[in-house]
Amino acid sequence: MSAPIKPLQNCGKCGLCLAACPVYKVLKEEQASPRARLQLIKAFENHTLESSPLLKELISKCLMCGSCAVACPSGINHYEKFMDMREKMVRDLGETPAIRSLIYLLSRESRIQRGAGMAKLGQKFTTKLTPAWLANKYCMGNIPLKRLPKLNAVPFRKTAATTIPARGARKGCLVYFTGCATNYLYEDTGISMVGILTHLGYEVIIPQDQTCCGIPLMFHGARDQAAENMVTNIRALGAHECDGILVDCTTCGAALKDEYPALIKKRRVKDPQNTQEAWEKLEAAAKRIAEKTTDILSFIVAHKQDLVFDKNLPKLGNVAYHSPCHSRNSFNTQSLVQSLLTELPFMDYTPTPDEAECCGGGGTFFYEHPKTAKKIMDKKIHHLKAVKPKYWLTDCPVCRINLAGNLNESDNIQVLHPVTLIHDALKKDP
């Protein structure tokens, strides 16, 4: 995502980005298109357009999926330009209390822990005291509170050892960047990740001092706070000698691979104690992390010949897949995952026509722009129900929240990370 930024003058207004933009495809409004945003940014930079709430809204009505940048024949990095502009809009106009609170929480791991603890208490309170009809009435964006995922009883990293030995002969060592969602929401993903990697013969290291990858902060113009998180993670991940760094979320992976080297190079961290030598070491560490980072599904594809499945396991039934935007645009994994799911003997994978279309989650997009997000999601659910799957798989936790949150209980479709089904199907030790 962080390719060199070509000047805005390179935009030929060809319109190829319109066909790639999930927001434009449902709204059909020029002002919602990527090329329109580029022209607005150009006018702002030329001082012919001033900051305004409307300008901020138009810039924010973007899923930050990166599809426009991939489609652009002029090589313009829309993704980077939009993040720059968001930062300027927040600087000039501020942010909503809800987003300010999110930025505050995600800026420190201790705050995330406290916030998760308070949310857990809130979930217990609402579950016990709120009638079902009321729980379905109140929503976060367009997701009923009742459909939001339950927080882990204990954060995943507190239940997992820092170093987990390989099963059988040790082939190597891998560092696992869990991200916030696995740590606080989806422990099943973390358990499955560790189970698969140790099954493949790898020792797994889970740094306990890692924190939010910083992408949510960057999306909301808080690049200085994001850079501080990134330094924390660079030091946490770089402290371990390993053969690779694995992520279960490709948004986190895109941060490690693309944003960390770029942001550290810009020296966005305000730390006067960092000498030239310290900065050079930090940049070198960020580059090494970027080179070693891969997503779990790509890793499984590369090692699938070493997976040993339980031959007596009955078929799980029909399975569909949603390809997250960062999986598709940053890691280019869609075809790899399709081939993997097709070859797995314990499931029947059926692609949907819009498998690679954005789900409308986009970090907090489903909360900030619920009507637009719902239009995007309704199309996906329509195509999904034609397939009649038992499971809907995706390797992005925000997509998982959005997909599951927009289904009804009566649909009887379970939304999971693919690693959960893969891990469950592995042959267990005798």
Per-residue model confidence as pLDDT tens digits over 163-222: 999 998 999 999 999 999 999 999 999 999 999 999 999 999 999 999 999 999 999 989
Q: Which of 168, 152, 161, 82 is nearest to 119 (CA)?
A: 152
Q: Is the pLDDT of residue 47 over 80?
A: yes
Q: What is the pLDDT of residue 274?
A: 64
In this prediction the pTM is 0.91
User: Domains in the chain, ordered, with CATH?
Assistant: 8-93 (1.10.1060.10), 308-425 (3.40.50)
Q: Phi/psi of residue 245, each to 5°?
A: -120, 125
Q: By mean pLDDT, which of 90-104, 118-132, 220-234, 298-312 is the weakest?
A: 118-132
Say yes or no to pLDDT of 133 above 80: no
Q: How many CB atoms lie within 10 A of CB 201?
A: 15
The answer on pLDDT for 26 being more than 90 is yes
- Rounded to the nearest 10 degrees, how much is the dihedral formed by the CA atoms of 108, 109, 115, 118? -140
Q: How far apart are CA 207 and CA 157, in angstroms?
A: 8
What is residue 267's predicted lDDT score, i.e. its pLDDT?
Answer: 60
Q: Share the mean pLDDT of the chain.
A: 90
Which residues pair with residue 318 across a beta bridge? 348
pLDDT at 328: 87
pLDDT by residue (tens digit) across 379-423? 999 999 999 999 999 999 999 999 999 998 889 999 999 999 999
For 237-272, the pLDDT digits (tens) are 999 999 999 999 999 999 999 989 888 777 655 555
Percent of the chain with pLDDT over 90: 68
Q: What is the mean pLDDT of residues 311-325?
A: 92
Q: Is the model more confident about 264 or about 64?
A: 64
pLDDT in tens, 357-381: 999 998 889 999 999 999 999 999 9
Compute the C-alpha angle 308/192/165, nearest 5°.
Answer: 75
3-state secondary structure 350-391: CCCCCCCCCCCCCCCHHHHCHHHHHHHHHHHHHHHHHHCCCE
SS (H, E, C) 347-361: CEECCCCCCCCCCCC
Judge whether 132 and 174 are in contact, CB under 8 Å.
Answer: no
Separation of CA 311 from chain center = 33
Q: Is the pLDDT of residue 3 over 60?
A: no
State mean pLDDT over 60-79: 89
Q: Looking at residue 126, what is its pLDDT?
A: 72
More confidently predicted of 274 and 1? 274
User: What radius of gyration, in Å, describes the C-alpha atoms of the chain?
Assistant: 21
196: left (phi over 0), alpha (psi -120 to 50) or beta: alpha
Q: Of 137, 26, 17, give the one whose Cα is nearest residue 372.
A: 26
DSSP 143: E
Q: Would you place residue 430 in the very low, low, confident or very high pLDDT band (cuts 50, 70, 90)?
A: low
